[in-house]
Amino acid sequence: MEAAVIDAGSQLLKAGSAVPDQAPPMIIPSQMIRVVEDGTSGDNNESVFEDVTVDPVVRGHIRNWDAMEDLLQYVLYGGLDWEEGNEGQILFTEPLCTPKAVREQLVQLMFETFNVSGFYASEQAVLSLYAVGRISGCTVDIGHGKIDIAPVLEGAVQHIASRRYEIGGVDLTKLLAQELGKSNPLVNLNASDVEMLKVKYSCCAEDELAYEKTQRSSDEEEHTLPDGQVIRIGREKYTVGEALFQPSILGIEAHGIVEQLARSISIVSSENHRQLLENTVLCGGITSMPGFEDRFQKEASLCSSAISPSLVKPPEYMPDKLTEYSAWVGGAILAKVVFPQNQHVTKGDYDETGPSIVHRKCF
């Protein structure tokens, strides 16, 4: 049995057996609907239950362990066809700055609840580089709930120079909702409508001047929502991308994403700057919006760094839309190495040392 690879994000969970040159076979929402007692009694004093939406993963980290266990039960036994009593090996991807307690609780869940035969965890930044055939470089990962910027040398994240920002796609969706609300005051938008509009229409202006021109433009197009309402969208579609280069649009006093990358790299020894910046990898679905790569490269030529960041293109044999699940693909590549070479945490390791073994074996 191939090892399972799990990349659990705030919005989507990617899962599948470790087959590196394909897209993950399971891409499902991370959000769970759980049935809970609402604290009241109905007829005959029977308990009343209600559906509650729960987010197992918030801003990249697992926050609700009961919901995460339910989600993994569905994924492993329902989606990946594991059999109880015959569980296999599993590799998890990890975002930057994963607390030690979270790592230990995850390995405990895997061995004590899911009875896995082997476990490994690796940071998403390292795995995203593996997906494009690199072991050194820098990743700019724009997720649903966070932005991670991570320099990686010889397969090791340089944590002193890494940066995490607790903004992401969910905040850009809220921004778009606000902008569309201003120009379409009579349209009632729900979160799923705005998310769909963001994916369908968002794009990046060529530069700040071009963005300012879009804000004065009257060009609009109509979109009919699932409930029949008609919404007009024009200048708003540029705001999502621009906020990544001008965070002040989000009300945040910070440099744009390319300048943040340059400042992150400046902390690493100067002899490694070229190797890192010339192997920059974009991750996250938002980075695939039209115009984003071109804007990134243009901003890179203007940033404070003596060496301009340049983007690595995925190999042709890799699946389409690799930026959306590069960490999963890198995890599938790594799983082909660590498990056959017995570099993973085994059941014997766990029984002997306990959850802390994860820090010694998975680094």
**pTM score, two decimals?**
0.93
- One digit per residue, pLDDT tens: the chain, 363 residues? 899 999 999 999 999 999 988 999 999 999 987 766 665 555 556 666 677 889 999 999 999 999 999 999 999 999 999 999 999 999 999 999 899 999 999 999 999 999 999 999 999 999 999 999 999 999 999 999 999 999 999 999 999 999 999 899 999 999 999 999 999 999 999 999 999 999 999 999 999 999 999 999 989 999 999 999 999 999 999 999 999 999 999 999 999 999 999 999 999 999 999 999 999 999 999 999 999 999 999 999 988 888 889 999 888 888 888 999 999 999 999 999 999 999 999 999 999 999 999 999 997
Residues 50, 62: Cα–Cα separation, whole Å: 23
Strands 4-8 and 89-94: parallel
Instruction: Answer for the pair 82, 75: CB distance below 8 angstroms, yes or no.
Output: no
Domains of the chain: 4-128+320-361 (3.30.420.40), 132-167+255-300 (3.30.420.40), 169-248 (3.90.640.10)
Residues 192, 183: Cα–Cα separation, whole Å: 19
Tokens 């902008």, located at residue: 179
Rounded to whole angstroms, what are the CA distances from 156 to 159, 243, 265, 307? 9, 30, 14, 22
